[in-house]
Structure formats: structure tokens, C-alpha cells
Structure 1
Amino acid sequence: MNDARKPEEPLVCARCGTTVEELPVTWTCSMENGARHYFCEACARENIRSIEGRLDSSWW
């Protein structure tokens, strides 16, 4: 995966702020306005229809 983060930076859920050291397979990555946004499993499940509809996270 081509990740722009520095290796020592944790991943942060763009919705709730949950942090992890390594990207779990259950998280979702979204490209919005040229930037990557990561969403934890709980936030992705709560907003799956909006994600699949390709709505920017600012709309959910």
C-alpha cells in the first residue's frame, strides 16, 4: 500500500478519532479531494450506504 504517513504515525479514524498502529483489514479508506481518509469498522458500518454511494464524509 502506498501510504503517505510517516511510519511512526498511528492511523486515525477520520470520523471518531480511534487510533491504531497498523491498518486493520476491517477499516475503510476513502479518497476525498485528493486526500486519504481512514474509517474504523464501527464508523464504516454506520455509514456504509453513504460510502458505497461515494458521498464525501462531510455529507454523512
Structure 2
Amino acid sequence: MADSAPGGQKQSGIITYGIAPNRLNPLAGAAHNAVFNVRRRFASQFWYVAPPMVAGWYVMYWADE
């Protein structure tokens, strides 16, 4: 018994897996990046959405008068 490994005999065919350090916290910086990503996307789409909405609001306002 003295020549065996602690806990029993050495086993073969056992596979162990580890996790890379960059995978430990997959959401690191997600909140910070989300804020600036939303800002960038909003700024890029603003001029496609705002003028039709303003025009629609003005037409509804004019029709209501």
C-alpha cells in the first residue's frame, strides 16, 4: 500500500478539463460596453427615425386643429 498514490491506484482513461482565464468572467465589461453600444446605435439611427416621427406628429397636430 505504501507504493500507491494517495486515495488509491493511479487511474487511466480519466479526462480532466480546465477553463481558460479569459472564460472565467464572460460578462466582464458587458454593462460598460452596452451603454456605449446603445449610444452608438441610437446616434446612427436617429436621423432615420426622428424626421418621420416629427412629421407624423405635426400631421396629427395639424389634423386635430
TM > 0.5: no
Larger radius of gyration: 2
The structure where strand makes up a greater share of residues is 1
Greater helix proportion: 2
TM-score class, shorter-chain normalisation, is under 0.3
TM-score normalised by the chain length of structure 2: 0.20
Bigger relative contact order, structure 1 or 2 (CA pairs below 8 A, ≥6 apart): 1
Q: Using structure 1 for the length normalisation, give the TM-score.
A: 0.21
